[in-house]
Structure 1
């Protein structure tokens, strides 16, 4: 399935112990995982692709909804014009680039692109 602009494309959770979380979701739900270094794992076979980021911080809301857009600069400008706040500016990661924003209710989401 190809990524579509403005659609939810990925969900990212926080985890204290990546090996423990992999075992839980593999045993309970048969998800499969791909390791991306010591602080990140991606999952599939769940209905929606996603990942877990290792954290030492207290987890209060561990989910990050990630939207897709092929032109990060364009959608970033549109978010700012719509009164959203950029919480983490555009950065690169294996497979693409992304940024985070805060909506008017205080929810943090991210937008990524493989372009």
Structure 2
């Protein structure tokens, strides 16, 4: 069973985005490298991606227990893998498009 864990937003200026969300909602962010910051509340968190190769639209990230099994299930259900499994700080993930063309990611902690 998957759980919506995370929403990643593309941003032009990470510092400005952090200030906005801190002032508007009281959220605090941890920096992960020069181009990325995220809340670490343990609930559904928000990532701010300012990297040159950042996602182009908001990216919902679903936490799963078995990443390889989920990749197979996504393909079997008609989804398309757009970014193969890769490691990142906190785990591994892949990106896929659903049957309507929405890009999402599945992640496994570790």
Whether 2:48 is the aligned partner of 1:48: answer: no
How far did 1:6 drift? 1.1
TM-score scaled by structure 2? Answer: 0.90
> For residue 82 of structure 2, what is the aligned residue in structure 1?
87
How far did 1:48 drift? 2.3
How far did 1:62 drift? 2.8
> For residue 102 of structure 1, what is the aligned residue in structure 2?
97
User: Gapped runs of 5+ residues in structure 2?
Assistant: none
Question: Matched residues in 1 for 2:60 and 2:74: separation?
Answer: 15
> For residue 37 of structure 1, what is the aligned residue in structure 2?
33
Moved over 3 A (4+): none
TM-score scaled by structure 1? Answer: 0.86
User: Gapped runs of 5+ residues in structure 1?
Assistant: none
How far did 1:56 drift? 4.7
Aligned residues: 109
Question: Matched residues in 1 for 2:102 and 2:30: separation?
Answer: 28
How far did 1:44 drift? 4.4
